[in-house]
Amino acid sequence: MMRARSLVTLMIALTACALPALVPPSFALDDPSEKLSDPVQEKRAEAIGAQLRCLVCQNESIEDSSAELARDLRHVVRQRVAAGESDPQIMAWMTQRYGEFIRLRPGLSAATLLLWAMPALALMAGLVAAALMMRRRALPAGMGETLNAAEQRRLAQLLREGEDSQ
């Protein structure tokens, strides 16, 4: 009886997880009043919006987001496209106003280069640390050191005592 309940609970949980995959995506830009009348300008605005991060959702572009701020940003992009600004000008304005974070694919700078290089640097540091640890373990303690005369006599005495006791 308990196993049947667990199975039913599991099936309900799996169904709940799979349900969103069955629902077709709803696009944020369903309102025709948001769209530009010129299809070429609208395509440009959509392409620019696809490169800009929704500051509320953070993992969606402003074109895919239904947040109110994303709607406002789409409106700003469309105003600037209609005013005749170029794509780089619009992106530069958005970046200046909201920071580099608004770009889904930030430009290459010293900070982003360091960010992208960090995993490789961490891997190299780990490999160097592992190599040093293995090297230390491979060397016997005191290797390369010579014994002075008193230490050599003591060692010989200990070895003789060991042989005598066997």
pLDDT, tens digit (0-9, with 9 covering 90-100), for 18-67: 656 655 544 444 566 678 888 898 999 999 999 999 988 878 999 988 88
Cα distance between residue 145 and residue 109, in whole Å: 51
Statement to judge: residues 89 and 118 lie in one domain? no
Statement to judge: residues 98 and 69 lie in one domain? yes
Phi–psi pair at 61, nearest 5 degrees:
-80, 165
Statement to judge: residues 7 and 50 lie in one domain? yes
Residue 45: which domain range?
2-102
Task: Determine, yes or no, domain membership for 18.
Answer: yes
Statement to judge: residues 95 and 126 lie in one domain? no
**To 5 degrees, how large is the angle CA 58–CA 59–CA 65?**
80
Q: Which residues contact 51 (CB under 8 A, 6 or more apart)?
A: 61, 91, 103, 104, 105
Name residue 111's amino acid. Answer: A
Alpha carbon separation from 77 to 91, 96, 103, 107, 166 (Å, rounded) = 9, 14, 13, 19, 91
State the sign of the Cα–Cα–Cα–Cα dihedral 8, 12, 14, 18: positive
Statement to judge: residues 65 and 97 lie in one domain? yes
Cα distance between residue 47 and residue 152, in whole Å: 81
The structural domain count of the chain equals 2
Statement to judge: residues 94 and 119 lie in one domain? no
Is pTM beyond 0.85? Reply is: no
Statement to judge: residues 6 and 82 lie in one domain? yes
Position 126 pLDDT exceeds 80:
yes
Statement to judge: residues 114 and 97 lie in one domain? no
Task: Determine, yes or no, domain membership for 162.
Answer: no
pLDDT for the residue 32: 64
Position 101 pLDDT exceeds 70:
yes
Task: Determine, yes or no, domain membership for 157.
Answer: no
Statement to judge: residues 84 and 30 lie in one domain? yes
